[in-house]
Structure 1
Amino acid sequence: MCASPLSATVLRQKYAFSKIAIANEKTAPYGVAAVEVMEKYGIYNKITHKIVRGDNIAPTYQFVFTENAQLGFVALSQVIHETEGSCWVVPQEDYRPIRQQAVLLNKSAGEPAALAFVAFLKGKTAHDIILSYGYGFDN
């Protein structure tokens, strides 16, 4: 995981950053979660002028990766295997869970490749990969 862990304190340190990246909360679940976290810590309204928004989590990560934003709320899966930099794994209780799903469309219901892919997603190999990127499963 990240080389040096951070905490919520970084968000509160006199707001010593010029830009913080989040996904657009109107279109992306990760953006909704980011706003929930900042509101919980009482800083959202104080730093709205520093927020840069990506359409989704991919451009949000790019803002941070290219250092156009000093901080950012990105998916754990994007940084879990990084050996440099720093990160704060936001406690799950600080935001509503982000539900990820896979669906099989009626149009593909009889397609062998689609059925094989869904079967793969339900199997141990896929579960191990999913877990290795920081995701969990609902019971």
Structure 2
Amino acid sequence: MRALPLSLICRSLVITATAWAVLPVYAAEVQVAVAANFTAPIQAIAKDFEQDTGHTLVAAFGSTGQFYTQIKNGAPFEVFLAADDTTPARLEQEGDTVKGSRFTYAVGTLALWSAKDGYVDAKGDILKADTWQHLSIANPKTAPYGLAATQVLEKLGLTAATQSRRVEGQSITQAWQFVSTGNAEIGFVALSQIYKDGKISSGSAWQVPAELHDPIRQDAVILNKGKDNAAATALIDYLKGPRAAAVIKSFGYTL
């Protein structure tokens, strides 16, 4: 048998080494606690993340306050994508996170929404009308978007006037569901729940001006349980990259 030229063997080894270099050392799974407002974006990001890295993302969705309690009680989450920056900072101060891993992955926008076309006006003046019976908001004690909603009502001088007509969801998802099912004519939701590729996907909405509430900075952090998980580190790095940023922006967030 004729021996292969040395140059061809070397070139083959370089190609093989390069091919292995673009793959993760091993594929791993990461358990992620995700704020409810970020459900659709993370589902879209997860597909790209798994395709690009080989790692698998397993997400649970809920309110930031409820996740804090679960994490403190030993829930198996390795990465936390919160709806605020104060809860991850608190976990960091309490020694429950990997030092230096926390960063702001998105800044959220609050919207007043109705499932009916043309029902909510461009300035949110519907809040002052007597034409609706129920206003849906998320629990302000556990959901940052719910807290922002109460700040808006306070700024507009409508706290007392709307008090008896509010229905409260335990998360921003439940607040959205109250409106989508018709149990509330209007409700404060995350813009990301009703927005895709530059437009409102259904119904009518008022994008609440940012100056009417505290900024909704949403921080991500690696929890102690994810300290030695390559997939956890890879996810945080991926969220900082251009492909994830494009998805995040397409749902109405800013960075």
In structure 2, the partner of 1:69 is 184
Task: Verify: 1:135 aligned to 2:246, yes or no.
Answer: no
Distance 1:30 1:136 in 2: 15
Q: Which amino acid aligns with 1:122?
A: K
Task: Verify: 1:95 aligned to 2:213, yes or no.
Answer: yes
Displacement of 1:44 after TM fit? Answer: 1.4
Q: Which runs of 5+ in 2 are unaligned?
A: 1-112
Q: Which runs of 4+ in 1 moved over 4 A?
A: 2-5
Q: Which amino acid aligns with 2:240?
A: K
Deviations 1:6-62 (A, max 9, x none): 22211112x320000000112111111111111111111011010000011010000
Q: Which amino acid aligns with 1:11?
A: L
Which residue among 25, 29, 42 is the counterpart of 2:144?
Answer: 29
Task: Verify: 1:126 aligned to 2:244, yes or no.
Answer: yes
Alignment of 1:8-19 (within 5 A): 8-13=124-129, 15-19=130-134
In structure 1, the partner of 2:194 is 79
Aligned length: 135
Structure having the higher strand fraction is 2
RMSD of aligned alpha carbons: 1.6
Q: Which runs of 5+ in 1 are unaligned?
A: none
Q: Which amino acid aligns with 1:58?
A: T
Equivalent pair of 2:153/2:159 in contact (CA under 8 Å): yes
Task: Verify: 1:54 aligned to 2:172, yes or no.
Answer: no
In structure 1, the partner of 2:8 is none
Deviations 1:49-91 (A, max 9, x none): 1000001101000001101000000000000134331000000
Report the TM-score when normalising by structure 1.
0.90
Distance 1:112 1:101 in 2: 20
Report the TM-score when normalising by structure 2.
0.50
